[in-house]
Amino acid sequence: MVGRVALGLFASLPLSLPCACSRDPSDAHEAVEAKAVAKQAPSPAAAALPELPTVDVAFLRRHIVALSDDAMQGRRPGTEGGAKAVAYIIEQLESLGVEPAGEGGGFTQAVPMRAVTLDSSRSSISLRPGPRAELQPLRLGEDVVASSLGPATTTQLEAPLVFVGYGVTAPEHDWDDFDGVDLRGKIAVVLVGDPPLPDDRFDGPAMTYYGRWSYKYERALEAGAVGCLVVHETAPASYDWNVVRSSWSGERYDLRSPAGEPPARLAIQGWIHAELAERLAALDGRELAGWHELALRPDFVPLSLSAELVVELVTTERSVTDVNVLGRIPGRTRPDEHVVLTAHWDHLGVDPRAVGGADAIFNGAVDNASGIAGMLGVAAILQSHVRDGRGPDRSVLLLATTAEEQGLLGSRAFVERGGDRVPLSSIVAASNLDSMNVHGRTTTIAVTGKGKSTLEDVLAEVAAAQGRTLVGDPTPEAGAYYRSDHFSFAKAGIPAIDFGGGPTMEEGGVAAGEALAHELAERYHTVADEYDPTWPLTGALQDVETMAELVLRVADAEQRPRWRLFLVIPLGGVAWRRRRARRQVSRDGAATWRVTGQAGESRDW
């Protein structure tokens, strides 16, 4: 692991005292006492609050049921069901007395997008196993799931395939899978995940951002490739082929640039089944396992394959403007600084492949009706503190995002384009609620990407007060830290945390936790993610209470949270290939990192 410094920033924080030139020592005591009294005094805004609901299991159940109802039609962005979900969230925030923080004094922020659809009836992908060999048609959705987010058109190409290992350029690890290869006019074939090295590079078994499919597409585009296909394997991907098929079928969304022009994109991007990868490897007398061995060799060079793909993709697109929902609880003493809580309201909509009377609605009860219910619960708890004169010192921004399932587009839009009332520079920390524990209470809290920031110091104190302890993500290879909305803030340099109920249940221990995790994985991104009336939801309530207390403590702390580890995030541009990371130590002993490029540009953490 990269160098770390323990910073117990929020333990027993002292109150700010007047300077040493006070006329009398009692002046300091009186000032502190006055500040405490002022903080406890209800504000005029608190007096205007409506009657607040009790946050209990019934509260969470009511909102999960409503948001995962068939009437919401799977809450896909740009649909009537999605609009219903937005209206519901706004109504609930208003009922809690949360003030609007969106555009024009309202609760929403527009997120302009392009919705691109592959016409599978007119599209085809075929394999040519060798020069002048007959074409072998591939089955869309079975052998390959692919499309393009480029401008809507008919894309025709014949392109050779090149195996590029893990598709990673990581100068801080002395690793470059693209070294010495010209990918212009070619399709990169890459393995999913990070290189599983025996040393501590790439965070050992934990996935880094380099393991994400989104990074691999970005890097292949930078390298000049016309396409990139990721080899799907269930264990390193952390989900099976059905998830790829359901998540990538139908419309795919992309942010629309402020100028309205689509950004540069690959002509073809997507996934290939492991069985197809075996076929490709066999054409050169190898196996997929052999590809893995080659990719880990220090002297690995990209491997030109015998096969090429003959592709015809017909895509159409439409403009979609959906919305994030933003509510704000003003701070008492530092209202211009913010702690953000995110949860995405969107899901996958209706399955276009469903036939007959089969269930076609991706209700998304766990993912993420539960997270929005949790956000509303945190809002109600915070408002009860406001009512009692104990509201947060910093303001709290509640950000319910659109198009998270499409690549964190809603949170990306907020971070990249800013908000009317909440500039990015005012945000001191971000936290996230996604796919909550709808089962029983746990004795542990699982932190994705554990060890990254001092937010965990605060969370550890909250957990200890509940009789719980912090543990790392039980499936670090899944790279969950990079797969939800808090990561958009982390990319912007803002300390961000994501956590949930840990793997050890109060009743049944680890074995019960593992069984429930398996059940959740079976439902993930399928039509089976529906509300179940047998869910106790006591675990979700436990985590809502944890999140509310975490947000309060961060909002009240004198010092801002800080990064503890160097967070490796490629910043784009071919110059990144030659960047190097060097450790620096600031005067107060805190670890900082700088990534420096050829032109001298830098970024500090």
**pLDDT tens-digit map of 309-353:** 999 999 999 999 999 999 999 999 999 999 999 999 999 999 888
In this prediction, residue 35 carries a pLDDT of 41
In this prediction, residue 1 carries a pLDDT of 27
The Cα 5–Cα 430 span in angstroms is 21
In this prediction, residue 42 carries a pLDDT of 57
Other Cβ atoms less than 10 A from the Cβ of 599: the count is: 8
Name the residue among 72, 98, 92 with its Cα closest to residue 84.
Answer: 72
Query: Could you give the C-alpha distances from 592 to 220, 383, 563, 603, in angstroms and in order?
Result: 29, 36, 8, 10
Residue that the structure tokens 């932190």 belong to: 447
The Cα 75–Cα 82 span in angstroms is 4
Average pLDDT over residues 409-426: 90
The Cα 152–Cα 466 span in angstroms is 53
Helix boundaries (H) for 197-353: 213-222, 234-237, 241-248, 274-282, 288-295
pLDDT per residue as tens digits for the range 137-175: 999 999 999 999 888 889 999 999 999 999 999 988 899
The Cα 430–Cα 338 span in angstroms is 9
Residue that the structure tokens 């956000």 belong to: 375
Element (H, E) at 39: helix 25-40
The Cα 517–Cα 498 span in angstroms is 17
In this prediction, residue 567 carries a pLDDT of 59
DSSP secondary structure, 470-481, as one string: EEE-S-GGG-GG
Q: Which two tokens stand for residue 352?
A: 């276009």
pLDDT per residue as tens digits for the range 172-204: 889 999 998 999 999 999 999 999 988 878 887
Query: Could you give the C-alpha distances from 93 to 50, 346, 509, 529, in angstroms and in order?
Result: 11, 17, 36, 25
Other Cβ atoms less than 10 A from the Cβ of 15: the count is: 11
E strand spans, 439-555: 444-447, 469-472, 496-501
The Cα 54–Cα 61 span in angstroms is 13
- Per-residue pLDDT for 10 more than 60? no
pLDDT band at 27; cut points 50, 70, 90: very low
Q: Which two tokens stand for residue 579?
A: 């960047």
Name the residue among 377, 370, 374, 375 with its Cα closest to residue 54.
Answer: 377
pLDDT per residue as tens digits for the range 250-296: 788 999 887 777 778 999 999 999 999 999 999 999 999 999 999 99
Q: Which residues contact 325 (CB under 8 A, 6 or more apart)?
A: 86, 89, 90, 93, 102, 107, 108, 345, 398, 399, 400
The Cα 100–Cα 483 span in angstroms is 27
Work out whether strand 334-344 and strand 108-118 pair parallel, antiparallel, or are unpaired: unpaired
End-to-end Cα separation, the chain, in angstroms = 16
Q: Which amino acid is at 496?
A: A
Buried b vs exposed e over 221-254: b needs ≥16 C-beta within 10 Å?
A: bbbebbbbbbbbbeebbbebbebbbbbbbbbbbb
In this prediction, residue 570 carries a pLDDT of 61
Domains and CATH numbers, the chain: 53-97+330-556 (3.40.630.10), 117-318 (3.50.30.30), 574-604 (no CATH)
The vertex-164 CA angle with 179 and 248, nearest 5°, equals 135
Cβ burial, residue 545 (10 Å; 0-12/13-18/19+) = middle
DSSP classification of residue 454: T
The Cα 215–Cα 167 span in angstroms is 9
Name the residue among 433, 414, 409 with its Cα closest to residue 424.
Answer: 414
In this prediction, residue 47 carries a pLDDT of 61
Q: How many Å is the maximal CA-CA distance in the chain?
A: 94
- Per-residue pLDDT for 420 more than 80? no
The Cα 432–Cα 375 span in angstroms is 9
Average pLDDT over residues 116-138: 94
Q: Which amino acid is at 564?
A: R
The Cα 61–Cα 538 span in angstroms is 10
Cβ(144)–Cβ(344) under 8 Å? no
Q: Which residues pair with 603 in a beta bridge?
A: 595
DSSP classification of residue 401: E
Cβ(394)–Cβ(335) under 8 Å? yes
